[in-house]
Amino acid sequence: MPRSRLMDQMRHALRVRHYSPRTEQAYCRWVLRFIRFHGVRHPADMGEAEVNAFLTHLAVADHVSASTQTQALSALLFLYRHVLGRELGDLEGLVRAPRSHRVPVVMTPAEVRAVLAELDGESRLVASLMYGTGMRLMECLRLRVQDIDFRRNEICVRRGKGDRDRVTMLPEALKPELQGHLRGVRALHERDLADGWGAVLLPDALDRKYPAAPTDWRWQWVFPQQRRWRDARTGRQGRHHVHPTIVQRAVKEAVRRAGIAKQVGCHTFRHSFATHLLENGYDIRTIQELLGHKGVSTTMVYTHVLNRGGCGVRSPLDGLR
């Protein structure tokens, strides 16, 4: 089959199985990189030996992390299993990238306060939600109006990592600001409707099941983008949610202005959320549920970054003073 058709089939197979757009992009990049690595040969003409050579090259020559090599392997396994219709055998002699154990970067409450003080507008509200709820950046940006329950002080995170839903808290301190923000978003939505716009993309086939839902206020993004767009498939016009790079750049600049000498990004707010809850004595199982971790072992990493010194042990030097 032609190479362009192969990639079309790859994308189709991923979408049929409801893989996220980011996973689709990553898997397709790895397949193209695999093809180029072997001189633009078709994957159907290659097998275990070529996959082994490519993955070993990633670990030995490119020095990629274990998670990156695993993602590349997953992409190729998907390609051969679901697109080419064959299973790869044992990858004998594969050199695996060494697994590293990194402690997450965590800000102190004072540092969080300093960064938030350097932000304004939507970026500040998004960052406050990430720190106050433990949501990932994309989970925050993909919030719909109906996902926020002001009476129960809850936020429902839909289709999080692993395609799992979960419920987290709505910080009491953010309610007035968030309600004011939604009033502005609703006024914007009503202007869009008056101009013949106002439709939003819905997950799966909900727009066919509920034709009026794309323009329903409940389904609108909490953080819509400034520019309008037109859906090429349906012809409807509306807004997408804010692009993540806007918030990422704002946070990076705020960290610089705050003078914090740490590698702080948007995900650091999530790390800080979990660590500060542990410091305040909350049960690790509860924090696991709030973060949406599949197992408690993932959440356990935050026990190593508590503000109590190494492993919670008091240094003997401090006993001399």
Q: What's the whole-number mean pLDDT along residues 111-130? A: 95
Q: In what order do the strands lie in the sheet with 148-149?
A: 148-149, 154-157, 166-169
Nearest Cα to 148, choosing from 102, 114, 181?
181
* b/e per residue 133-148 (b: at least 16 CB within 10 A): bbbbbebbbbbbbebb
Identify the pLDDT of residue 110.
94
Query: Which residue matches tokens 């999080």?
Result: 160
In a domain, 294, yes or no: yes
What is the set of active-site residues?
136, 161, 267, 270, 293, 302
Whether residues 176 and 320 share a domain: the answer is: no
Element (H, E) at 140: helix 137-141
In a domain, 90, yes or no: no
Residue 159 pLDDT exceeds 70? yes
Identify the pLDDT of residue 33.
95
Q: What is the DSSP code string of 5-45?
A: HHHHHHHHHHHHTT--HHHHHHHHHHHHHHHHHTTS--GGG
Q: What's the whole-number mean pLDDT along residues 86-93? A: 83
Tens of pLDDT, residue by residue over 228-265, are: 877 666 666 778 899 999 999 999 999 999 999 999 99
Residue 72 pLDDT exceeds 90? yes
Identify the pLDDT of residue 278.
86
In a domain, 190, yes or no: yes
- Higher pLDDT pick, 70 / 309: 70
In a domain, 93, yes or no: no
Whether residues 129 and 158 share a domain: the answer is: no
Residue 314 pLDDT exceeds 80? no
Q: Which of 61-65, 80-84, 281-285 has the lowest mean pLDDT?
A: 281-285
Q: How many domains does the chain have?
A: 3
Sign of CA dihedral 213, 214, 215, 220: positive
Q: What's the whole-number mean pLDDT along residues 192-199? A: 87
Residue 102: pLDDT band (50, 70, 90) is confident
At which of 214, 240, 266 does a domain end? Answer: 240
**CATH code where residue 293 lies:** 1.10.443.10
Average pLDDT, the chain: 87
Whether residues 202 and 254 share a domain: the answer is: no
Identify the pLDDT of residue 201.
83
At which of 83, 111, 131 does a domain end? Answer: 83
Whether residues 202 and 128 share a domain: the answer is: no
Question: Measured between alpha carbons, how far is 30 from 92 in angstroms, rounded to an integer?
Answer: 21
Question: Measured between alpha carbons, how far is 26 from 51 in angstroms, rounded to an integer?
Answer: 17
In a domain, 147, yes or no: no
Identify the pLDDT of residue 1.
47
**CATH code where residue 64 lies:** 1.10.150.130
Tens of pLDDT, residue by residue over 1-56, are: 454 589 999 999 998 888 888 899 999 999 999 999 999 999 999 988 899 999 99
Q: Which of 56-70, 89-103, 147-161, 175-189 has the lowest mean pLDDT?
A: 89-103
Identify the pLDDT of residue 163.
74
Residue 190 pLDDT exceeds 80? yes
Whether residues 258 and 302 share a domain: the answer is: yes
Residue 298: pLDDT band (50, 70, 90) is confident
The pLDDT > 70 percentage for the chain reads 91
Global confidence as pTM: 0.78
Residue 282 pLDDT exceeds 80? yes
Whether residues 22 and 76 share a domain: the answer is: yes
In a domain, 125, yes or no: yes
The pLDDT > 90 percentage for the chain reads 55
Which domain does 225 fall in, by range?
Answer: 154-240
Whether residues 258 and 133 share a domain: the answer is: yes
